[in-house]
Each structure stands twice: as structure tokens, then as C-alpha cells.
Structure 1
Amino acid sequence: MKQSGPPVSAAAPVAGVYYGWYVVGVAFLANFASAGSQFYAFNAFMLPLCELRGWTRADINMAPIIGFACGLLGQYSYGSIISITGPRRLMALGALVSAAAFITLGQTQELWLFYLAYILLIMGNAAMSSLVANTAVSNWFVRLRGRAMGMATSGLTMAGVILPFAAYHLLHSVGLSWAFAVIGMGIACLAPLVWLVMRDSPESCGLLPDGQRPLPQENGCPKIMPQSQVPPAQLLRIASFWKVGLAYGLASAGVFAVVFQLGPRFQDLGMDGDTAMLLVALASLAGTCGKFTWGTLCDRIPPNRLTAFMFCTVGLGQIFGLVAQGPVTVGFFIVIFGFGMGGIMSTFPIISAWCFGRAAFASVYRLLGMFLGLQAVGYLLMGGSFKFTGSYDAAYLVFIFVDLAAAAVIVTVKPSAWSLDGAGN
């Protein structure tokens, strides 16, 4: 399926800072706010919520399970809406919804209201990050897509470097409700920034992907790239669709469930709150380095092979997490698991664009994102493992085998007809 417009490779680079990097910066902040509010903050808030509200860890683990089920349906709708409105409007609205929902999480005393607020948080985050932010970055880059996507998605793990510590100290300074409120107001500040900076595509600004200068044309600017709507029935018959979706769905189930309660895991090993939050920050810092590294390497190495190696790295890290007791094994877990898990959400959009192309990205990625619903299984395993055995060891053991299975599947993926000449343009 050929896209219209001039060839990228025949144009010269535009002088100065390419505007696409500003788009990457906004996407970084959106991903930071999304992951920070959705996952990392709960490393500090989970145990206080249990103590102050009388809830169990299994109760709180139900929030992301219910929320993700609704969020995936929302993401599917966003895949259709984005082809009409573009990423900018969705991202600005999503930031406001996420801010209101996160503030509400800290005020509610009823578990069902907590679940409802978490659903709204997931819906708002999906509108400003994930599919929507990744589509914006994919629109602006082709040749440098891996590097750009790695930088944008590094916000997901950079949130883990800052938010657990920030949330933990806010909690002890101003209390639980106000800690939620302060972070929520920070998320709200993202809405005007998105509106001022975000642009939907380079063609809408008279540019081409990767900072190339448009070739002379009759109207003086490149044609807007049409967004291809791939029929779901046709997509379901493509083996690469199933392989990519299942591999990332299975791998992410373990990664997100582990990250969601990494702080409590360290505290179960006898560490105090400050030490636990420091280790969460270090694991997230390793993940941030991993996101940029895995993403950049995708520009040089076939993404399917690189991703298979990355899944194996995650599995190795979880082996150290399973046997972690002293500082040596904990250190190996933090570095290896952190570096590996950082690549999960940075390579997912990259390999999707590599397989299906830039024009079809939003249409395909909204369906691939449905496989992330398998994360619910990961949360159930973590909650059930702790409830019935008093530790997370059983869940970690399952996740190790799942990572190896995901690696075996993803290495067989090949580009589809939508990726043009195989470059994912």
C-alpha cells in the first residue's frame, strides 16, 4: 500500500533543529505522566492505601485489571479518532481527564469508586500516551524512528526514577490525599503544553519525515500522508499480526505486574521505604537507558531479532528477581531486568511500524494494543501468588517461561505488504 508524497531519500535535510524532536519531547512528557500515575506512584501509595483504607494488595491489583480492560476498548476507539482529529486534540484532552482521575484516587474511601477513578485514569492516559503519542512520533520519523521512539518512550521508565521518591516524600509531607492532588495538578499542566507544541505530522508543517527538505512541487509543500485504515478481518489473517501481539502481550504481562509492585517486593525482603524507593528508581533508570538503547539499535538491527534477545534479557533479570536475597542478586536483578524491561514499550511501536508501515500504523497498532490486555493475567498471578503463598516467587517463575516463549515467537516475525519495501516507511 503505497503512500503518496515525495520520496524521503531524495530530499536534503533542513537546517536547524527539526521540529519532530519537539514532538518527541512532548511525547516523552506524556509517557512520563502516564506511567508515573498509572504504575510507579503506586510503589509508594500501595501499602498506605492498604493501611488507611483497609484494602488488600489483591484489592488494589484489581484496579489495573479492570482499568486496562476498559482502556483497551478506548484505545481501539482512539485508533479511529486519531485519523480524523490527529494526536494533538486527544493528547490535550487526555491530560485533563488523567489529572482529574488521579486526584480523585486520593480522595475516595470506597473501593468501587477507586476502581472507577482508575478506569478514567487509564482512559485519559491512553489518550495522551501509548497509541496516540506513538502515532505522532511515527508520523514524524522513518529513518530515525528507532532513536526517536526510544527517546519518547523513555519517559515511561524515567517516571520510575522520579515518581516513587516524589510520591513517597509527598506522602510523608502532606498526607495521602494531598500527595495525589499535587501529582494530579502536575499532570494537568501537560494539557496547555501539548496544545501549544504538538503538531500532527511533518507534512502539515510543510516538512518531511526525519527533517528532510521538501522537493519543489506545484503547491510548494509536500502532500499530506493519507492514513490507511486496514480492515480488521484482513489483518487477522496475517501471521505477523498474531505473533507480534501475542509476544508483547505475554511479555508485558510479567513486566508491568512486577513493576506495579516493585517497591512492596523490596520491602518484603526487609528493606525500609526509602531504600525500596531508591531501588525502584535505580531499576527505572536502567529501564530508561534500555529504552533509548533498544530503540536506537532497532535502526541498525532487524527489530524481530533484537526483540527476541531483549525478551531473553528480561527473563534472565526475572531469574535474579526470583532468587534475590542479598545485595548482589538484587543488584543483578535491578540492572538486567531494568535494562531489559525498558525495551518492551519502546520496541513495540517500532516493530509494529517495521511490519506494517507509517501510513497504516494507527490502524494496526490499535488492534495490536488489544493484546496488552493479557497484562490482566500478570496482575492476577502477582496478587494470587502473594495471597496464597505469601510471596511473589510463583508468579516470577511463570513470567520467566513466558519471556522465553515470547522470544521464540517474535524472532519469526516478517514485514507485511503494508511496510512497503520492508523498511517500514
Structure 2
Amino acid sequence: MCSASSPRIDCCCLLLIQAAASYFFFDDVKYAVMTDSNSPLFYGWKIVFAILAQLTFTSGLSFYNHAIYLTALAANPNFDVQTASFAVSLFFLSGGVTGLWVAKWVQDYDPRICISAGAIISCFALSSLAFVQEIWQLYLAFMFFGVGFSASSLIPATTLVTRWFHRKRAMALSIASTGLSLGGVVLTPLCVLLVKSMGFEFAAPLMGLLYLVGVIPITWIWLRASPESMGLRPDGVEPPTSLETVGTEQGVAGSEVVVAPRDLALDGITFKQARGTRFFWGISIAYIFLMMAQVGGIAHQYGLASELLSEAQTAMAVAILPFSSIVGRLIGGWLIDRMSIRLFAIGIMILQAASLTLLATGVNVLTLCLGLALFGASVGNLLMLQPLLIAEAFGIREYARIFSVANLMSSWGTAAGPAVLGLAFAANANLYSLPYWIAASAGAVGLILFLTGGKLRAL
């Protein structure tokens, strides 16, 4: 499989990719990342798997762990579910605002510095949750946590993937963003057990240290700013020969005019041009409501499951959503290459609204588990679809800036979701049926708004 001269890490990565492809019967995944037996692995795939590992820690210790933090903090006599829910909202809101500066940094400077700074901030913020006693301390800690998460997670990660891949972008993003869900499968149940066995006061600093150790070494060992920084080209394509460096174009008078090759680094349009399109506003506003439904549903899943299950069963139930998110995202990455990405997005949005409706019924354990599984499939794909839709529609010329603005708008929804569902929980006699009906309605509104954006016109 690997030549004797190939580095061992190339062999390991090739085997890992092949194993995943064989398991899910994605034969074209194998052919997309493999060349012949004597060719080295394109470094971009190392970037993808490094980001997968990095996102496993950042999402597992933040995005999916909010349900644990919310429950643990609500048990503190100084706080309640409503107060803790608002703290989670501040996490997402501060992260969205910070994303504007993160986008500028990763566009102009080495993204690894930004990721490392974010990991350090997140480590201290998460550790400090063990010592908060006042509401202002709680809110301040979550705001800094949001800043650190924004700097170390999605914006720099998706920016790197879009730089390294053009033709295989959907597949690369689907694999890399699997880390978002893998964190929930691997780390969330572990954190539940840590909190249960050690208490939140001891578990929080340990989780903060885990965030730091899980992000910074990976960042500096494997991540690189762009393929051009290593003398490579996106997707690992061969540089053009001297005869291919120029092309011909029909002039206005019928004569052939020599034109320079297209600069892949400038592929796309500016933010000013993007914001003038109906599609930009359609997807950006839609994701406010889609993320309100998604993050609100995730943040309160632990409390929802605990209404029907024991504590040990609940710890297992919260792993259903991220596990189904992984499977759903891998299947989604395969399907996107075979159908309209817009139709696929519409189907996923319908799935989210339907699964939240099922969770809102709260009939029995079976509907709970089925609802979490279907909801997880929508979670995995919606998180992947936003950067993919933006990259497909507007290119990578100012991708970081365009995505950061769209991400800021969606952060209004992620910020509102936990708080709105927390208020509904308190107003509904501490029961979760009404909150999940609200989440399902928000998902339906997001679908309608996305449809108003019109068809995707990829560059």
C-alpha cells in the first residue's frame, strides 16, 4: 500500500481513510484521496484529520458540554436553569462578535497563533467555572469562554479547509467537521462521569487543561496556513507546465488574446459583492433560527432525557445525538456530490424541524432516542452546510470575512436558543415539552427563510 520511502504517518493516514471509506462503502472517497501506490499523501488530508482531532476537543468541551455545565451550575444555590441558560447564550454571542476579528486575523496572519491564543483563553475560562459564586462572575467566564472557542474552532478550521481544497471541498469539510460530533461521542460522556465522580469543582479545571492539551500540540505539529506556503496547490493537483501557464480567450474582434492563469487564491467575490446578493441574506438570516433551534435543543437535551431516564441512562442517551451526527455528516458528505446542495440543505432543515417535534411530544423512551438520533443527523449536516454553502456561492477570496459575518448573525440564534428554551422551561412548570415545540417552530421558520434566498449560483 505504501512505498518504503513514504513517511509512516502517510501510511497511517492512508489506512485510516481507507478503513473509513470501506466501512461506509464510500468507494469514491478512497479514490479521491488516493493516487497510486508510489505517490505520497497530499498534505491537505493531514490538515483535515488534524482539524478533525482539534474540533473533537473544542466542540466536545464546549458545544456539546453546555448541557452538563448548565445542569451542574443550576445545582448551585446561587444560580438556576434560567441564569445558567443565559450564560450559555453569552458564550455564543461573545464568540460571534469575536469572530469578526478572528476572520481578519486568519486572513492576514498565521491561523495557528489565533488557535493557540483561543485555546489558552478557553482553558482558563473553563477552569474558572469551578470557582464562580456570583452571577457576574458566571457571565464573565462564559463570555471569555466564547471568545476562546471562536478563536480556536470553526472560523480558522473551515478557512484552512477551504484554502486546501476546492474540488474536494465538500468531502474534506464533511470529514474535518466530523470532529464537532466526535467530541460529543467521546468527551461528553467522559465529562459526565468526571463531574459525577469528582464533582464539578474538580472536574472543571481538568476539562480546561484537556482543552489546552488537545488543541495546541495538534495545531503546531500538523496545521499549515495554506498549500502555497508549502509549495503545493489546492487538492494536490500538479502545477501547470510551461505550456499550461497561459491560455487563450476570444477577443472582441474575433482575435485570440493571451490571458494569465486564474489565481486560485483569489477565486471568488468580495464581501461587498456577497452582501448585495439575496442568497447571502437568505442563508444568514435563516441560520439565526436554525441555530436557535439546534443549540437550544442540544443545550437542554440532558434535562430532557433526565425526565424519562435515570442518571446513568441519561449519560448514555446524550451520546446518541453526537454519534448520529457523525454518521449523518459522513453520509451527507457523500450525498452532496450526487445531488443539488440546495435540495440537500432543504431536506436537512425539514429533518431538524421534524425531529424536534418528535422530542417535544415526550411520549416514551423510544421516541426520545429516535428523536435524538434524527436530530443528531440534522445537527451534523447543518453545521457542515453553512461554510460549504458560503464557499460554494462566494468562493474563497474573502471567505473568512463573509463567513464571520454570517456566523455573527447565526450567533444571535445560538445565543437566544438556550435562553429562550430555559425561559419556556421555567414557564412550563419545569417541563421540556413547550421548549422543544418552540425549537421545532424556529427550525421551520429557518427553512422558510432559506427558501426566500433563492437558488445557489456557485462560482
TM-score (norm 1): 0.89
1:402-413 superposed matches below 5 A:
402-411=442-451, 412-413=453-454
1:287 corresponds to 2:328: no
Are the equivalent residues in 1 in contact too, given 2:267–2:395 (CA < 8 A)?
Answer: no
Which structure's CA Rg is the greater one? Answer: 2
1:74 corresponds to 2:112: no
Q: CA deviation at 1:175?
A: 2.2
> 1:182 — aligned with what?
206
Are the equivalent residues in 2 in contact too, given 1:295–1:350 (CA < 8 A)?
Answer: no
Secondary structure in structure 1 of the residue aligned to 2:426: helix
1:34 corresponds to 2:72: no
Secondary structure in structure 2 of the residue aligned to 1:142: coil
1:343 corresponds to 2:381: yes
Distance change >3 Å, CA 313–CA 246, structure 1 → 2: same
> 2:423 — aligned with what?
384
Amino acid at match of 2:352: V
Are the equivalent residues in 2 in contact too, given 1:92–1:192 (CA < 8 A)?
Answer: no
- 1:311 equivalent among 349, 352, 362: 349
Distance change >3 Å, CA 327–CA 394, structure 1 → 2: closer
CA distance, structure 1, for counterparts of residue 269 and residue 100 of structure 2? 13
Amino acid at match of 1:320: L
Secondary structure in structure 1 of the residue aligned to 2:133: coil
> 1:400 — aligned with what?
440
1:247 corresponds to 2:265: no
> 1:225 — aligned with what?
265
Q: CA deviation at 1:289?
A: 1.2
Are the equivalent residues in 2 in contact too, given 1:95–1:191 (CA < 8 A)?
Answer: yes
Are the equivalent residues in 1 in contact too, given 2:421–2:438 (CA < 8 A)?
Answer: no
> 1:327 — aligned with what?
365
> 1:3 — aligned with what?
none
CA distance, structure 1, for counterparts of residue 338 and residue 42 of structure 2? 21
CA deviation vs aligned residue, 1:262-315 (integer Å, no higher than 9, x gap): 11111123x111111211101210011112222332233222111000000111
Are the equivalent residues in 2 in contact too, given 1:355–1:415 (CA < 8 A)?
Answer: yes
1:51-200 superposed matches below 5 A:
51-189=75-213, 190-200=215-225
Secondary structure in structure 2 of the residue aligned to 1:225: helix
CA distance, structure 2, for counterparts of residue 330 and residue 174 of structure 1? 29
Are the equivalent residues in 2 in contact too, given 1:43–1:277 (CA < 8 A)?
Answer: no
Q: CA deviation at 1:199?
A: 0.6
Amino acid at match of 2:136: W
Q: CA deviation at 1:331?
A: 2.6
Q: CA deviation at 1:106?
A: 1.9
Q: CA deviation at 1:259?
A: 0.4
1:252-291 superposed matches below 5 A:
252-269=291-308, 271-291=309-329
Name stretches of at least 5 consecutive residues in structure 1 with no aligned partner: 1-11, 417-421
CA RMSD after TM alignment: 2.3
Which shifted more, 89-98 or 29-38? 29-38
Which shifted more, 281-290 or 407-416? 407-416
Are the equivalent residues in 2 in contact too, given 1:151–1:292 (CA < 8 A)?
Answer: yes
Are the equivalent residues in 2 in contact too, given 1:294–1:347 (CA < 8 A)?
Answer: no
Are the equivalent residues in 2 in contact too, given 1:283–1:337 (CA < 8 A)?
Answer: yes
CA deviation vs aligned residue, 1:332-365 (integer Å, no higher than 9, x gap): 2022111112111111111110111122311211
CA distance, structure 1, for counterparts of residue 329 and residue 150 of structure 2? 19
Distance change >3 Å, CA 377–CA 42, structure 1 → 2: closer
CA distance, structure 2, for counterparts of residue 164 and residue 187 of structure 1? 13
> 2:7 — aligned with what?
none
CA distance, structure 1, for counterparts of residue 362 and residue 438 of structure 2? 16
Distance change >3 Å, CA 276–CA 32, structure 1 → 2: same
Distance change >3 Å, CA 111–CA 243, structure 1 → 2: same
Q: CA deviation at 1:226?
A: 4.4
> 2:335 — aligned with what?
297
- 1:16 equivalent among 40, 45, 57: 40
Distance change >3 Å, CA 370–CA 44, structure 1 → 2: closer
How many residues are matched? 403
Sequence identity (%) = 22
CA deviation vs aligned residue, 1:93-131 (integer Å, no higher than 9, x gap): 211211121111122222211211111111111111111
Q: CA deviation at 1:249?
A: 1.8
Are the equivalent residues in 2 in contact too, given 1:71–1:122 (CA < 8 A)?
Answer: yes
CA distance, structure 1, for counterparts of residue 383 and residue 43 of structure 2? 23
1:370 corresponds to 2:435: no
Name stretches of at least 5 consecutive residues in structure 2 with no aligned partner: 1-33, 246-261
CA distance, structure 1, for counterparts of residue 263 and residue 392 of structure 2? 22
Are the equivalent residues in 2 in contact too, given 1:355–1:414 (CA < 8 A)?
Answer: no
Q: CA deviation at 1:323?
A: 1.1
Secondary structure in structure 2 of the residue aligned to 1:52: coil
CA distance, structure 1, for counterparts of residue 208 and residue 267 of structure 2? 34
Distance change >3 Å, CA 79–CA 227, structure 1 → 2: farther
> 2:237 — aligned with what?
212
Are the equivalent residues in 2 in contact too, given 1:157–1:288 (CA < 8 A)?
Answer: yes
CA distance, structure 2, for counterparts of residue 143 and residue 224 of structure 1? 11
> 2:455 — aligned with what?
414
Are the equivalent residues in 1 in contact too, given 2:290–2:443 (CA < 8 A)?
Answer: yes
